Amino acid sequence: MTDFPPSDPVDLDPVALTGRLIACPSVTPATGGVFDALQAMVEPLGFTVHRWIEGQDATGHEGPVENLFAVRHGPAGSRHFGFAGHLDVVPAGEGWTAHAFQPEVRGNLLYGRGAVDMKGAIACMVAALADIPADAGTISLIITGDEEGEAQHGTRALMERMAQLGEKPDLILVGEPTSVHRLGDMMKIGRRGSINAWFTVEGREGHVAYPHLADNPLPRLVALLADLDAMELDHGTDWFQPSNLEITEITVGNKATNVIPHRGMGRISIRFNDTHSGAGLCARLEEIAARHGAVARPKIYGEPFLTPPGEFSAMIAAAVEAETGLIPEPSTSGGTSDARFLKSIAPVIEFGLCNATMHKRDEAVALDDLYALTRIYRRIVLAALS
């Protein structure tokens, strides 16, 4: 068992750095201590740190959220490499062998919430940067506190702050846990888009024995959801799996057995590839809802994006192969990340630790993977800046 944080505040061992970040509870939306810890790590490396608190308005969106942008400028005209990630984590939940925010090494694993998603990757990047010469080029850290939440005041707000500072990376690597079976077996060159939609069907309540005096909304809701479930969106593309629509909630709230309810509600989620746009799918949902006398409230959480295989993915593949012997599979599978926003300012690819334990109790990362990922990140940064 290893105690954290270490006594040396500038210890750049990736295991020690990961432990220091885990020891700062930072459930979404994150502020404060975990950002203090990261700032203390990177300032001795020559980085200028900017921090902002966002989301303190009265809009009803989650907040406040803290965002951090750290930059170390290279020579004028040099390339700019950005590393993006999030310090917020999902709630610990119950059933942990030890405390979720008291990092502990047992055997060859470091346990703690955020070990793989994604405090470990941020720690590896910091450790990697310690050996990158200051004249190699410009390097920045783009770190948010609400990736695991609604992302209302996180990376998008941070991008606006970067624009105000005149900072625009040439390439961005997001440290999400993309590896599946072994470190280095997969990188994400794109992601599908995401939509949630809520549907409401109004009726008129009444006694079940006198249906002619009521208007049951549930048959219309069932028919609507059946039509939605039967939709064939597409058959996939060269880089994307088929889009899928899933019914995720049906709510009536009727506690009586002899009452026809006055309202029925349903919710769906769509993950869609680049044969669609969010606006186009929302219009389609609204049209189908109207045919059933329902009101639709769709919300777009992200559009699909693809960074086609090329120079950037080749850099990552070469670095991974040099350290692990693996060539990572370029994939667009999985959920969304803040890459869906960052793709508008630079080519973006995701690569990081094994994702088997993310969001689970006893989340853990292999110590050897932290050291290997640090070496991989170092190679990627040097290649990107050359």
Q: Is 151 helix (H, G, I), strand (E, B) or coil?
A: coil
Asked if 159 and 342 touch (Cβ cutoff 8 Å), the reply is yes
- Is 86 annotated as belonging to a binding site? yes
CA distance 150 to 69: 20
Query: Does the annotation flag 117 for ligand binding?
Result: yes
Residue among 214, 147, 146 nearest 177 (CA): 147
Is 359 labeled as ligand-binding?
yes
Single out the catalytic residue among 54, 88, 167, 338: 88
Calculated CA dihedral for residues 311, 317, 320, 322, nearest 10 degrees: -80
Q: Based on the residue annotation, tell me whether 368 is a catalytic residue of this protein.
A: no
Burial of 187 (0-12, 13-18, 19+ CB in 10 A): buried
Compute the distance between CA of residue 294 and CA of residue 224 in angstroms, rounded to an integer.
8
Tell whether 249 is in a known binding site: no
List 66, 104, 146, 147, catalytic entry: 147
Let me know: does 14 contact 115? Beta carbons within 8 Å.
no
Place of tokens 């990081």: 352
- The CA-based angle 270-273-277, given to 5 degrees, is 80
Please answer whether residues 275 and 203 qualify as being in contact, where contact means their C-beta atoms are separated by less than 8 angstroms.
no
CA 382 to each of CA 79, 220, 371: distance values in angstroms, whole numbers, following the listed order: 11, 59, 17
Active-site annotation holds for 88? yes
Strands 171-174 and 348-350: parallel
The DSSP H or E segment spanning 121 is helix 119-129
Q: Give the SS3 label for residue 224.
A: helix
148 labelled binding-site residue: yes
Phi-psi region of 140 (alpha: psi -120 to 50; beta: other; left: phi over 0): beta
Annotated binding site for Zn(2+): 86, 117, 148, 176, 359
Which residues have a catalytic role annotated? Answer: 88, 147
Annotated binding site: 86, 117, 148, 176, 359
